[in-house]
Amino acid sequence: MINKEKFLLKSYELGIIKFGEFTLKSGILSPFYVDLRPLASSPVLLKELSQLLLGMIKDCRHELICGVPYAALPMATAMSLDSNIPLIIKRKESKNYGTKKMLEGIFAQGQYCILVEDVITSGKSLLETIEEVEKEGLKVKDIVVVLDRQQGGKELLENKGYQVHTLFSIEDVIDILYNHEFLNQSQVIKIKDFIKEKPKVQVSIPRLTYEQKLEMQKHPVSKKLIEIALSKKTNLIASLDISKAQEILNLADKIGEYLVAIKLHTDIISDFSENFIHELKKISAAKNFLLFEDRKFADIGNTQQMQFSGGIYKISEWADLITSHVIAGEASLEVFGESTGVVTIAEMSSKGTLTDENYKTKAVEISNKITNVIGCVAQSKLPASLLLFTPGVNLTESGDEKGQQFNTPEKVFSEYHTDFIIVGRGIYGALDSEKSAKKYQEEGWKAYLKSI
């Protein structure tokens, strides 16, 4: 195993990062300058880099590899030689003679191509490469990047549904160099302030429509959810947190037409029975909505598996969707059956939650790796590869005395680009629940249309 930190320190000696005052192409004065091209002149380091980058894509589907010209060309070549993944070459400018091809090499339509980039800043040159590669009928899903300058490019691509695997962020580099006394504290502060304060490359990204998202879905449950949303013009999930089975059934029957799904906490139902599920399934089939058990699994895989299929609730037998924490790691999510859509909890809506940005990033990373995870519960934007479910939605209240924090449908669609709103007390706690469900359906759909 190659040590990332040692690799960085050896690369630093080649002069790949310089500190001082540099005027960037954009005219901005930057306290650091990055140029990874010298790595190509060190076969030893280039080989190590290739191993490190290959390590990040070992679980990704790949039939081809392509470097973004020019700096990443030797990197992609080294990776191809090390892994036997065939290389294709993207031209920077098309030839004005002969075939005028932009992609050189042997490839076939529909093949998955991994892209390699040295430094990501705005993501613009990557987007150009992606366009050329996709134009030739190839598929791009995963991108490996050596260094993220943390200026918005990674987020831009992730919002478009690509997965960006970065070896180092500029902050990682600064921390390593500081720990080895190549930088002093005042330099670190200056650089970190620059990263924080410097206006990020702002690219306003329109959200994807349900039609566009439908095309990206692989799981039958996520497909079904979006199909229902489109056919009933609703993105509303009602959370029926009610303790009497008959009351849930009555309400489901009344408001089912406005919903994509009903979310339950079966463990608060005092008279739960198989017959209740049987009746609820009949209503869900008649009114065309899915059943979502908000179990929030949070244990080791073995236990979760038993909790999912055993006990009195036998969730695996009827729930189309379930929620699970990611706290126990990747393997704990692999125990749910293939036909159930898993929604992981990346961020909670309550005051003081421990799900900070770092937690969310890790939760999203894990979620992207597991095939039956269709999305996350979160309170901010997600990469387009995951559907976003947002609870804590209420048109009249801003919170409760137990930590809940509410937002309006308008806010969660315009700011978070959510896909589905989850409403509990706003519906079952209303004087007229049917009228209220209709209102949330209309407001949710209006907010969606405004956000596209």
Strands 290-297 and 321-324: parallel
Enumerate residues 237-266 that contact ligand 5BU by CB under 6 A: 239, 241, 265
Exactly one of 118, 142, 148, 294 is catalytic; which is it? 294
Give the burial class of 396: count Cβ atoms within 10 A of its Cβ; 0-12 exposed, 13-18 middle, 19 or more buried.
Answer: exposed
* 332 counts as binding ligand 5BU under rule CB under 6 A: no
- Minimum gap (Å) between residue 229 Cβ and ligand 5BU: 19
- Minimum gap (Å) between residue 28 Cβ and ligand 5BU: 38
- Minimum gap (Å) between residue 258 Cβ and ligand 5BU: 15
Any catalytic annotation for residue 369? no
Strands 103-104 and 87-90: antiparallel
* 349 counts as binding ligand 5BU under rule CB under 6 A: yes
Which of 391, 417, 439, 441 is in the footprint of ligand 5BU by CB under 6 A? 391
Which of 117, 294, 419, 443 is in the footprint of ligand 5BU by CB under 6 A? 294
Strands 373-377 and 387-390: parallel
For residue 166, give the amino acid letter. T
Q: For the packed helices 43-56 and 4-13, what is the interaxial angle rounded to 10 degrees? A: 150
> What's the chain's length in residues?
452
Q: Which stretch binds ligand 5BU (CB under 6 A): 40-48, 193-201, 276-284, 387-395?
A: 387-395
Q: According to the 3-state scheme, what is the secondary structure of 427-446?
A: HHCCCCHHHHHHHHHHHHHH
* 142 counts as binding ligand 5BU under rule CB under 6 A: no
Nearer to ligand 5BU, 66 or 345 (CB): 345
Q: Which stretch binds ligand 5BU (CB under 6 A): 55-63, 179-187, 198-206, 342-350?
A: 342-350
Contact yes or no for 252/280 (Cβ under 8 A): yes
Enumerate residues 202-241 that contact ligand 5BU by CB under 6 A: 239, 241
User: What's the chain's Rg over C-alpha atoms?
Assistant: 25
Q: Which stretch binds ligand 5BU (CB under 6 A): 180-188, 205-213, 303-311, 390-398?
A: 390-398
Contact yes or no for 276/269 (Cβ under 8 A): yes
Tell me how far the alpha carbon of residue 328 is from its chain's centroid.
19
Contact yes or no for 121/153 (Cβ under 8 A): yes
Enumerate residues 394-433 that contact ligand 5BU by CB under 6 A: 394, 404, 422-426
Nearer to ligand 5BU, 239 or 372 (CB): 239
CA geometry: angle at 67 spanning 58 and 32, to 5°? 100
Nearer to ligand 5BU, 57 or 421 (CB): 421
275 by DSSP, 3-state: which?
helix
* Cα distance from N-terminal residue to C-terminal residue, the chain: 46
Any catalytic annotation for residue 172? no
Nearer to ligand 5BU, 72 or 388 (CB): 388
Residues in touch with ligand 5BU (CB under 6 A): 239, 241, 265, 294, 345, 348-349, 377, 391-392, 394, 404, 422-426
Catalytic residues: 294, 296, 299
